[in-house]
Structure formats: structure tokens, C-alpha cells
Amino acid sequence: MGINRVIYGIRETVVKDCIPIFLLRNEPVVRDNSISTNRINEAEHTRWFTGALSNAAFQFYTIVDEAGGFSGYIRYNAIKATAIVSLALIRECRGKGVAKNLLNVSLKRIKNKLDIMSVTAVVRIDNIASCKLFLSCGFHFSLSKKISGIQYNEYVYAFK
């Protein structure tokens, strides 16, 4: 422990992140943990990604390691007074507790960027790591609902 610990950070997402984000979004475990579980095609992703980058309702962060290597994303999509958050780490970074600090940093940054009162996370109830992550960052359980036969918990983070 300790000497091989990699430090991760976040930066604003840019055009060159399009394909790494596409590949990560299409990983089976990431699709399974999304609300729409269908595979995404590259043209559809590129169109959506380009639109999202220039849309003020989206705030997109890329997770990078010390060498600047792509390590994941955190995305906020403002809808009225809340923003839906979505995040994923590349496989090698999961299970090491790194998402907590990155999510906290991103929450501080979006507060001044989006005109919102809260952030909402919709998480499959069997995605224990994600449920625990949001609770550990100050989100509160709001409700549980079924979407296309799958049970999800909704967690809400309220800005003070």
C-alpha cells in the first residue's frame, strides 16, 4: 500500500475525449448500470457528445490520472432545478475508493456552473458500490422506482 498509489483528478471534458468516453459508455457493466441498457453506436454517441459539449445544460468532467491518462467521466445534465449525475471509471480504477473524492470535487465545481438546487442520482439497487458512493458524498435516499422491470434507487444531494 502507499507507494504505488495513483492520484486522480478531474478536468473539463474536451472533443478528444469523445472516443474514450464512447468506449467506456459501451462497456457491458456500464451499460447494465445505465437506465437505457442498449449498446450505443459510435455515430449516435458522437452526435450526442458534440451536442452535449456545447449545451449549457450539461457539465462534463473527464477523470484523469497523474499522467493525464483517461480514467473516466462525471456528467451532469441540468433538468429544471436538479441535475442528473452519471459517472463511470475505467475498469482498472474501480474498487479502490477513488470515486468519492472526485465526485465531491465535481459537486463543488458545478454549484456555480449550473442553475440548480440539487443533484439527482438514479442507481440500480444491486449496484452497491454506486449506492454507497452517493450516500458517502452526502446524497440522501429519495425514492425507489422500477424502470423497464429494473429497480432503481434515487438519491438526492441538496445544495445549501
Ligand X SMILES: CC(C)(COP(=O)(O)OP(=O)(O)OC[C@H]1O[C@@H](n2cnc3c(N)ncnc32)[C@H](O)[C@@H]1OP(=O)(O)O)[C@@H](O)C(=O)NCCC(=O)NCCS
- Interface residues with ligand X (CB under 6 A) are 29-30, 33, 87-89, 94-100, 123, 127-130, 132-133, 136
Question: Which residue, 115 or 148, is less far from ligand X as judged by CB?
Answer: 148
Residue closest to ligand X (Cβ): 99
Question: Which residue, 30 or 116, is less far from ligand X as judged by CB?
Answer: 30
Q: How far is the CB of 25 from ligand X (least distance, A)?
A: 9
Written as one string, the DSSP assignment of 22-80 is HHHHTSHHHHHTSSS-S---HHHHHHHHHHHHT-TTEEEEEEE-TT--EEEEEEEEEET
Question: Which residue, 115 or 151, is less far from ligand X as judged by CB?
Answer: 151
Q: How far is the CB of 83 from ligand X (least distance, A)?
A: 14
Which neighbouring-strand residues pair with 156?
Answer: 120, 140
Per the structure block, which three cell numbers stand in for 155? 438519491
Four-CA torsion 94, 97, 100, 102, nearest 10 degrees: -60
CB 88 within 8 A of CB 102: no
Q: How far is the CB of 62 from ligand X (least distance, A)?
A: 14
Question: Which residue, 96 or 111, is less far from ligand X as judged by CB?
Answer: 96
Q: How far is the CB of 46 from ligand X (least distance, A)?
A: 21
